Chain A
Amino acid sequence: MNLSFNWLAELVDLEASFQGDAKTVAEHLTLIAAAVEKIEPVGEGLDGIVAARVLEVGPHPNADRLSLCKVDRGDGAPLDVVCGAPVIVKGALYPHVAPGGTLPSGFAIESRKIRGELSHGMLCSDIELELGRDKGGIMRLADDIVPGTSVGEALGLPDTRLALDLNPNRVDLGCHVGVARELAAPAEALRERDFGTSWDPAWRDGDDEASGAGLRVRIEAPDRCSRYLAAVVRGVRVGPSPTWLVGRLMAVGARPINNVVDATNYVLLEQNQPLHAFDLKTLNGSEIRVRAATDGEQVTTLDGQTHKLTSAASVIADRDRAGALAGVMGGLDTEVTTETVDVVIECAAFDPAAVRRTARETGLSTDASYRFERGIDVHAGEHALKRCVELILATAGGEAEAEAIRVGPAPTRPPVQKLRLSRVKQVLGLDLGRADVATHLEPIGLREVESETSGGGAEDVLQIQVPGWRTDITREIDLVEEVARRVGYERFPDADRRFRTSSVPEDESVGAAARVRRELVAEGLLEARSLSFMPGDHLGNRAIVAVPNPLSNEESYLRAAMVPVLLRRLEHNFSRRHRNVRLFEIGTVFDYGETPDQFREQRRVGVVMTGGRRPGHWSGPVPDLELWDIKGIAERLAHRLCGSLVTAGSEASDDPFLAGGWLAPDGFRVEKDGAIVGIGGLVRASAVDGPPWAAPVLAFELRLDAVEPVRHATYRVTSQFPSVRRDLSVTIPADVRAGDVEAAVRSVATDLLVNVRLFDVYAGEELGEGRRALGWAFRFRAPDRTLTDEEVESEMRLLSDALEEQFDAKVRSA
């Protein structure tokens, strides 16, 4: 919402409290009502630009597109001016900048020859004057000023434009009167203006239909329009608006159209009431019907678009067809043009939801629809209509019909809302008396009325009359907010009351995520964050849950696993020629529940890494990361954070966990309580779009709920006696897994075995067909004594016997 500072100053005294300073006003509005986002000067640098009358206009002898004019600046010395505009009207007034003057841009104007003809200065468009955005048109001025008048002065410029960011509940601030109310600190500062003195019609009322002034109005859809007021002005002369009105519209960035339409827009900007003018002659049967559109009905709106409607949309129709979209935009067929003689001014109260449906169906959002959707002051219609008719009479002439139409039940009185001082104290913490509250609320029209009920607690209760323009105030808390706002949030005192306890325990998932992050950062991984979306299928990485209304194909599904999304981040890094990448992300994955309207979410951590194991070093080559590195990370996470959990070798699986199977054969699983909670290994080459120079890609994914609460280690006595290492090399059939061998060792060994380490894996022909050798290093230690050779030998026998028995292992002699 753009505001004109000059306009506001006309409505309210801005000198006493704000020293007439726009910046001070803007700051105040921001702190008590709505934020002023921008303050910008309008119409600066117009000095020396005056209205000039075109006395003669003729073609330029050497150029088709130029014309040669003789203009009068009111000083009796007409000047020749070359002009490039397509239409210059003889006798009309235009802004002229004389030689020696400058445009607002700072461009200096001199007399110069244009195609051989001397041009003394130029006629200006609104773009050149930095007042508007019309293309090519020279700005025609109304005949209400005489040649020589300063254009800036006549337009009421310079001015300052304040861009106000309206909160959705404060549509009443969408007009200058509304903002002036907020600025009127003492109630007297608001300058009351009286309308309806020159035109005070006889109202023709009806519940759903009324006739008068040569017009019949019928509300056929009372659920869409509660009230419809109409006035008729006959014999108007449609043309440019007077300069002061044009200046006002320009000051707020609105486009002047003609004196009738401008009058309706002016009243909207002044009082918030959307109005619309119809050309009476275009209304068949001189009828107005407010009704639902029929399915398939078409309306071409003022912007030239044709809309095919359904019955969800509401229209203003005549006897035969729809001529406008109710509360949204007028129609091209019924608009006011320079040919128009008689006009109908509509001042209606359309239903917010109905307007919203019409706006949504047509994709239009207008100044009118914005206000109707949020609620207008249904009590102010007569006031606004009178104001508009009087403006039209003043600017376009004509004669107003003495009758005016008013259809629909009279609006109910605005509510009286109670406000307890004790509630103000409870919510705001402020001890305010009745008089304090009244001082804050009265300037904005919230007046205390006589309480009809007296008695218990009456001292505490104020009965506040809510004005019609405050459709947002329906509850006591709304008044509490008004008090807080009017006091000024920044004027509340400070307090030390900050800490309180909470009955809500901290979610374990939060701590789990933090611990996973710490571990992975320590592993040298960088945390990434990506959006949860992905295309349905990317290189075989699937997603499951579809987004029915996505913005793009890239975002048409929700991820079902972390790794596929991280692989896309990896691809992005490949495109930036990064070969060494190590990323992790903690996020949510999605799946359907029992039925497709049920959904499941799970928190996961994903890891993706590729490239060198360390940054390169001059001392020698650095090997690339391989399966054992990612398994190491998985193992440490599993061991350190997930308790007793172990990692076990696994074939690639179709488990939904994998979401499309990015895992190459021979991955590993993390299992807990019999369920798979993590999976990892080498990523299939076909699941990543990688360049030829890329190293193998490794990935790992773990359910966050596998992470256990912090457990504190229990101290066990550390032995001060020496440990003994013994190696054992065995050959086993190739299909026996090392993990199973280690598990067997651990299960048969006594407490003396403190460490098992595989130090060698070897396969060679001399071992025999289908066999391989594993070299194990065992470390034995007793807490209370030095072990004897005999004890250790006995332990080793236990192990070798078990391996021979369980795995067909053969001990290799050293």
Chain B
Amino acid sequence: MTEVGASLLDRLAALEEQGLVAIRAAGDSDALETARVDYLGRNGRLADAMGAIGTVEAKARREVGQRANAVKTALLAALEDETRRLSDAEAAGKGPRLDTTLPARRSWVGGLHPVTRVIDEIAEIFQDLGFTRVEGPEIETTWYNFTALNIPLDHPAADMMDTFYLHDDVVLRTHTSPMQARVMEAHEPPVRVLVPGLAYRRDSFDPSHAPAFEQIEGLAVDEGIDFIEFRSSIQHFVKQFFGKDTRSRFRPSYYPFTEPSAEVDVSCTVCSGSGCPTCKRTGWITIMGSGMVDPAVFEAVGIDPERYTGYAFGMGPARIAMVRHGIPDMRLLYEGELDFLEQMA
């Protein structure tokens, strides 16, 4: 290497060292800008040194050029670091300029109705057991609503549900159970459906009754379904829905379209069974009517009761929502009052 080349390399080394010191020692943005102009400016020291590359003999020029570029990169990197560091430091040093405790700009918060959420959660659990969701008409014939379900029209069992008649043999369905018959007419077993929907009864609107209310019906029909499977499936649901520590009990009941029939109680979720107003001091809350599908229902829809068995159940999501959220009056669910819906959202 020649004299000129070597001395330029020395000059670049010094320039790099001094430049890095100048940048790192700048301390504020003004001094940093001065350092930048001094070293990296159009007429700065690096430009000056690079201008001298032309005087270097050709064979060393490449090496010197590379060195000059390396110095430039190093200085630029240092400059960028320092700029960032200084701006952070300045921001921190100056303290908050905004009172960020001021309220945020908010949007309206939407939400699902608590009954919808109960229905969805029930559905999810049974979907895991192979059930599919179907819906049916709210206006029904008396055949589907009563006759097909083994409820003779002139029978005390019909007293259990006071009916809105729209026409001689047309009613607002008193339960979602007519879908049992509709589904079994349309599909061969294995049938497993869950039917959410509204049902109607001539009850006056009071804290625990509504003339229209949600029900969710379940039906499972196949070969080889027995009471053991039925009870185990429902118990599985209870644990999933109400929690592992919830106890349940099956006790005899009566529905014309199931036999054996059972009502399912769960230990009171409010008092855990010790007795409180929610469970009327019994420690138990009834959540479900259920049972093995009555052979008469199979016969009504043309399914061989000697070959197929099954179970059916019905729940009132509104009542479950009331227990879950501690809602004392059923009417609150249907008023659409904003404060209520926002609480539940």
Residues of chain A whose beta carbon lies under 8 Å from any beta carbon of chain B: 30-35, 37, 167-170, 353, 356, 373-374, 425-430, 475, 477-478, 480-481, 484-485, 489-490, 492-507, 509-510, 514, 517, 520-533, 545, 547-552, 555, 558, 566, 569-570, 572-573, 576, 578, 580-583, 585, 587-588, 590, 596-597, 599, 601, 603, 614-615, 617-619
A262 to B105, CA, bound (A): 76
Q: A504-B187, A506-B132, A532-B138 are in contact. Are A578 and B338 (CB under 8 A)?
A: yes
Q: How far is the CA of A34 from the CA of B253 in the complex (A)?
A: 7
Q: Is the CB of A168 within 8 A of B137?
A: no
User: Contact partner of B211 among A524, A533, A576, A588, CB < 8 A?
Assistant: A533
| Count, A-B residue pairs, CB within 8 A | 259
Residues of B within 8 A of A578 (CB): 337-339
B54: CB under 8 A from chain A? no
CA distance A170 to B156 in the complex (A): 12
**Cβ of B190 and Cβ of A34 under 8 Å apart?**
no
**What CA separation (Å) do A503 and B260 show in the bound complex?**
25
Residue pair A572, B335 in contact (C-beta under 8 Å): yes
Shortest beta-carbon distance, A496 to chain B, in Å? 7
Q: Is the CB of A525 within 8 A of B110?
A: yes
Complex contact A551–B202 (CB within 8 A):
yes
B160→A524 contact, CB < 8 A: no
Q: Are A549 and B202 in contact (CB under 8 A)?
A: yes
- Report B-chain residues with C-beta under 8 Å of the C-beta of A493: 228
Q: Tell me, yes or no, whether B63 is within 8 Å of chain A by CB.
A: no
User: What is B's interface to A at a CB cutoff of 8 Å?
Assistant: 102-103, 105-113, 115-116, 120, 128-135, 137-139, 154, 156-157, 159-160, 164-168, 170, 172, 183, 186-193, 196, 198, 200, 202-205, 210-212, 214, 220, 222, 225-229, 231-233, 235-236, 249-254, 259-263, 280, 282, 292, 294-295, 309, 333-339, 341-342, 345
User: Which of A168, A501, A506, A596 has a CB less than 8 Å from the CB of B160?
Assistant: A168
Bound-state Cα–Cα, A599 to B139, Å: 7
B107 contact from A35, A552, A597, A614, Cβ within 8 A: A614
Inter-chain contacts of B200 with A (CB < 8 A): 532
- Residues of chain A within 8 A (CB-CB) of B170 are 597, 599
- 18 A-B residue contacts at CB 8 Å? A31-B251, A37-B282, A168-B160, A426-B226, A481-B259, A494-B235, A500-B190, A506-B132, A509-B135, A520-B110, A524-B109, A526-B113, A529-B214, A570-B336, A587-B198, A599-B139, A601-B138, A615-B106
Cross-chain contact B235 with A502 (CB below 8 angstroms): no
Closest A residue to B331 by CB, please name it.
A531
Shortest C-beta distance, A410 to chain B (Å), equals 27
Which chain A residue shows the least CB distance to B231? A492
Please name all residues of chain B whose beta carbon is closer than 8 Å to the beta carbon of A548 when the two chains form the complex: 165-166
B112 & A521 in contact (Cβ 8 Å cutoff): yes
**Candidates A430, A503, A617; contact of B190 at CB < 8 Å:** A503
In the assembled complex, the CB of A52 is this many whole angstroms from the nearest CB of chain B, namely: 38
A426 to chain B, nearest CB (A): 6
Query: Are A618 and B212 in touch, CB under 8 angstroms?
Result: no
Q: Which residues of B contact A505 (CB under 8 A)?
A: 132
| Min C-beta distance of A381 to chain B, whole Å | 22
B187 touching A503, Cβ below 8 Å: yes
Contact yes or no, A504 B107, CB < 8 A:
no
Complex Cα gap A408–B263 (Å): 40
> With A and B bound together, what is the CA distance between A179 and B105 in angstroms?
67
Instruction: Report chain B residues within 8 Å CB of A549.
Output: 164-165, 202
B342 CB contacts on chain A under 8 angstroms = 526
> Would A530 and B251 be within 8 Å (CB), given that A502-B193, A517-B116 are in contact?
no
A490 to B234, CA, bound (A): 13
Chain B residues near A494 (CB-CB < 8 A) = 228, 231-232, 235
Q: Say how far B103's CB is from chain A's closest CB, in angstroms.
A: 6
Provide the bound-state CA to CA distance between A377 and B198, in Å: 40
In the assembly, what is the distance between CA of A500 and CA of B132, in Å? 11
Give which listed residue, A168, A429, A475, contacts B229 with CB less than 8 A: A429
Tell me the complex Cα distance, A492–B336, Å. Answer: 44
Q: Which residues of B contact A373 (CB under 8 A)?
A: 156
Q: CA of A531 to CA of B111 in the docked complex: distance in angstroms?
A: 19
Complex Cα–Cα for A590 and B166 (A)? 12
Question: Which residues of chain B are near A524, meaning CB under 8 Å?
Answer: 107-110
Quick check: A522 and B135 within 8 Å, CB to CB? no
Contact, CB under 8 Å: B228 / A356:
no
Among B160, B226, B261, chain A packs the most CB atoms within 10 A around the CB of B226
